[in-house]
């Protein structure tokens, strides 16, 4: 019984790894890790225990590099991840199967934040996505409770 579960978890991890990519291996369908020195704007983001991702209204321009300064203002652990709808679905599935997984930022598009912690994520939106860019907390149950923000890309 353990072998099929392990195989499923391994398959999900490998599949999601391709969807999320990491900073050392290039682009995703929704962009690539950005150089903080090249950031055109800084977007302050607050995560809190009301299951909200708070930031001022923004629109993303194709090709733009944004620096997100993310603060966990809650008492719970939260996550900040950038993606398109398909990658966020894959990420959610992976997190449900491996709920203790944490993101140290090496993927480029996701970080786990302890209560009171502030971290930065810089992302280059160098690909036009179908639909919106999705900012989410994929700690199991948080996304389902509404911890998501959809940000439009300009045409």
Helix axes 2-20, 85-97, angle to 10 degrees: 150
3-state class (DSSP) for residue 140: coil
Token pair of 82 as six digits: 């950038």
What the chain holds in terms of domains, given with CATH numbers, is 2-151 (2.60.40.420)
**pLDDT tens over the chain, length 155 residues:** 333 433 333 333 333 443 444 334 457 888 999 999 999 999 999 999 999 999 999 999 999 999 999 999 999 999 999 999 888 888 777 777 776 766 766 678 899 999 999 999 999 999 888 899 999 998 989 999 999 999 999 88
**3-state DSSP: the chain helix, strand, coil percent, rounded to 5?**
25, 35, 40
C-alpha dihedral (23, 25, 29, 35), degrees to nearest 10 = 40
Count CB-CB contacts under 10 A for residue 76.
15
* Residue 112 burial class via C-beta count within 10 angstroms: exposed 0-12, middle 13-18, buried 19 and up: buried
Which residues face 150 on adjacent strands?
Answer: 134
CA 109 to chain centre: 5
How far is 2 from 112, CA to CA, in rounded Å?
28
Token pair of 87 as six digits: 């990658």
Q: What is the pLDDT of residue 18?
A: 39
């Amino acid at each position: 019984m353990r072998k099929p579960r392990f195989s499923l978890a391994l398959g999900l991890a490998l599949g999601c790894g391709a969807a999320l990519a990491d900073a050392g291996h290039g682009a995703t369908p929704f962009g690539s890790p950005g150089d903080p020195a090249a950031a055109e704007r800084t977007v302050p983001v607050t995560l809190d225990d009301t299951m909200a991702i708070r930031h001022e209204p923004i629109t993303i321009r194709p090709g733009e590099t944004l620096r997100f300064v993310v603060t966990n203002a809650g008492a719970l652990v939260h996550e900040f991840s950038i993606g398109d709808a398909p990658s966020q679905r894959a990420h959610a599935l992976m997190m449900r199967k491996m709920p203790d997984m944490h993101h140290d930022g090496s993927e480029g598009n996701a970080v786990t934040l302890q209560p009171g912690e502030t971290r930065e994520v810089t992302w280059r939106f160098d690909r036009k996505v179908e639909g919106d860019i999705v900012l989410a907390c994929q700690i199991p149950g948080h996304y389902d409770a509404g911890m998501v923000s959809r940000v439009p890309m300009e045409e």
